[in-house]
Amino acid sequence: MMDALGRARLSLEGLSVADAFGEQLLHIGPEGRILALDHHTAPLRKKWMWTDDTAMALSIVETLAAFGEIDIEELAYRFGQRYHLESARGYGAGAHKVLDAIYCGIPYATAARMVFDGQGSCGNGGAMRSAPIGAYFAGDLDAVVEHARRSSQPTHAHPDGAAGAIAVAVAAALAFAGERDSRALLETVVERTPAGPTRDGLRRAIPLLRAEHYTVAAELGNGSRVLAADTVPFAVWCAATHLDDFAGACWACAEVGGDIDTTCAMAGGIIVGAVGADGIPADWRTCREPLPPLSIPS
């Protein structure tokens, strides 16, 4: 049986491959994207670069490996260090400001409130990286909620930013714990997600379980506003309705547009708990840029 860190690593694998897949489709040009989407043929000509979604998830897995929990100070430090080394991974404008401040020694609680007039971010960045937390603590939803909340704090001071991180982590925990019923998964995610716009969107996703993905994205959002509330409900719906189809979920995310790499990353980090590493297309794993070794103190 896979241990907690093994589960977190597996979630990271699914997250990173899906992230890189989505990023490739954003950068192959309109003609290439149309052909890829029409034929469900991924561009396999070169290595697929992963983005800030994976970079921050790497820091989460490293923190879990080193401490067995999310230590907020340590996670903030790792976020800042990794950002400083590779700041061109697709970070958003707010993330640049917050992470640069953290790297320069400003306390994370201060840095996280340097955006949106002191309210902090309610963006999707906390959620894009949180699936490995759910995988690590699968079987203990109280721990999942607490550590996902902690993981959001270095960059997302707004409560709905934390809600997004919690929702994705809970969905991943359920998939890794063996939940295969789409409705039951969504209902539990809603139950565990704090009140606010993200939870409202997740609740609206439940009666849409049999709808087409285009219809669902039109109702819930596709991440184009880069908010937790605009991204997480569709990504979790997509994962819940594709628990046996990693590639199908990624193509659904790609077809509705928006923040493709992020919706793919969220869905991929969840679904891999149901399909395992063998459920990820082998050529996608080969194309994904290699992940660096985890940096864990001995």
Place of tokens 């939870």: 199
Q: State the DSSP code for 241.
A: T
| Cβ-contact 222, 255 below 8 angstroms | no
Given a cut of 50, the residues of the chain with pLDDT beneath it are none
Q: State the DSSP code for 210.
A: T
What integer pLDDT is reported at residue 107 of this predicted model? 96
CATH class of 4-287: mainly alpha
Beta-bridge partners for 288: 48
User: 81 CB contacts (<8 Å, ≥6 apart)?
Assistant: 103
What integer pLDDT is reported at residue 54 of this predicted model? 98
CA 256 to CA 33: how far, in whole Å? 12
In angstroms, the Cα distances linking 223 to 28, 59, 160, 290, 296 are: 20, 23, 15, 26, 33
Q: How many residues make up the chain in this entry?
A: 298
CA 56 to CA 87: how far, in whole Å? 11
0.75 exceeded by pTM: yes
What integer pLDDT is reported at residue 159 of this predicted model? 96
What integer pLDDT is reported at residue 255 of this predicted model? 95
What integer pLDDT is reported at residue 298 of this predicted model? 59
| Cβ-contact 141, 170 below 8 angstroms | yes
Q: What does the domain layout of the chain look like in residue ranges?
A: 4-287
CA 66 to CA 31: how far, in whole Å? 45
Closest CA to 243 of 206, 205, 271: 271
Q: What is the per-residue pLDDT across 101-148, written as a single tens digit (0 to 9) for each?
A: 999 999 999 999 999 888 889 999 999 999 999 999 999 999 999 999
